């Protein structure tokens, strides 16, 4: 996975590669899919959710440009795999999922997998992720693993000066990975690869079907 799917596709950040190498991906994948845990593809979870492909996890983490000690908001906790990667990079992590069953399963898995000094830096919440967590803002970094039709204003409002938001934005079929940075002068937005994520459901995302 590291040599072929990550380094082979241009992931170069040593901290990201080290974090990805340290996390046992199979622990976050449903048992029926564990033989494919290190394939470079998304795999299904319950409730029509997915665990993102390794390359996309690595790319989003690299674009996030985290450093140890930063306060990070993760929207769309899912399996907890991305959470484990971020915790391995030394951040203080606030993770949200709108589904209680996924949040609890992710926390239970992380408690077993990550070292205690990492786990104590995790605060997991079941909530509407597009609203963020204003009571804990501002955040140095925000990573969103589900796609809204437009940038959610609450997440922009909760981004610290010097902060960065990485989020897929587009329609339900296809999105562009979008990077927003906040400077003292305002917001700066760029786009990256095409991608496909599950919809971000909520007040500032898509309505639930």
What's residue 31's pLDDT?
87
What's residue 72's pLDDT?
98
Question: Which is catalytic among the residues 18, 22, 46, 52?
Answer: 52
pTM value is 0.95
Q: Are strands 175-183 and 159-170 parallel, antiparallel or unpaired?
A: antiparallel
Averaged confidence pLDDT in the chain: 95
Q: Which residues pair with 94 in a beta bridge?
A: 73, 123
What's residue 46's pLDDT?
75
Q: pLDDT tier at 33 (50, 70, 90 boundaries)?
A: confident
CATH of domain 2-195: 3.40.50.150
Question: pLDDT tens-digit profile of 94-103?
Answer: 999 999 999 9
Q: What angle do CA 178, 42, 87 make, to 5 degrees?
A: 65
Higher pLDDT, 47 or 38: 38
* Mean pLDDT, residues 12-33: 94
- CA–CA separation, 112 vs 44, rounded Å? 21
Please indicate whether residue 52 is annotated as part of the active site: yes
Under a CB-based contact definition with an 8 Å cutoff, are residues 17 and 69 in contact?
A: no
What's residue 30's pLDDT?
85
What's residue 47's pLDDT?
72
What are the sequence ranges of the domains in the chain?
2-195
Q: pLDDT tier at 194 (50, 70, 90 boundaries)?
A: very high
Q: Nearest CA to 149 among 182, 181, 173, 129?
A: 173
Q: pLDDT tier at 48 (50, 70, 90 boundaries)?
A: confident
What's residue 208's pLDDT?
82
Question: pLDDT tens-digit profile of 65-103?
Answer: 999 999 999 999 999 999 999 999 999 999 999 999 999
Q: pLDDT tier at 158 (50, 70, 90 boundaries)?
A: very high
- With left for phi above 0 and alpha for psi between -120 and 50, is residue 78 left, alpha or beta? left
């Amino acid at each position: 996975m590291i040599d072929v799917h990550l380094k082979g596709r241009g992931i170069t950040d040593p901290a990201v590669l080290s974090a990805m190498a340290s996390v046992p991906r199979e622990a976050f994948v449903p048992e029926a899919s564990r033989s494919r845990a290190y394939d470079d593809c998304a795999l299904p979870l319950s409730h029509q959710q997915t665990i993102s492909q390794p390359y996309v996890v690595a790319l989003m983490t690299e674009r996030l440009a985290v450093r140890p000690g930063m306060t990070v908001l993760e929207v769309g906790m899912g399996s907890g795999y991305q959470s484990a990667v971020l915790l391995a990079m030394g951040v203080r992590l606030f993770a949200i999922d709108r589904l209680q069953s996924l949040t609890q399963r992710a926390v239970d898995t992380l408690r077993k997998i990550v070292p205690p000094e990492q786990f104590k830096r995790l605060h997991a919440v079941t909530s509407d992720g597009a609203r963020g967590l204003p009571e804990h803002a501002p955040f140095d970094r925000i990573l969103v693993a589900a796609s809204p039709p437009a940038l959610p204003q609450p997440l922009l409002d909760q981004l610290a000066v010097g902060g960065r938001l990485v989020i897929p934005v587009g329609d339900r079929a296809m999105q562009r990975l979008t990077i927003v940075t906040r400077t003292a002068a305002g917001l700066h937005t760029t786009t990256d690869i095409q991608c496909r994520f599950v919809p971000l459901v909520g007040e500032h995302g898509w309505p639930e079907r």
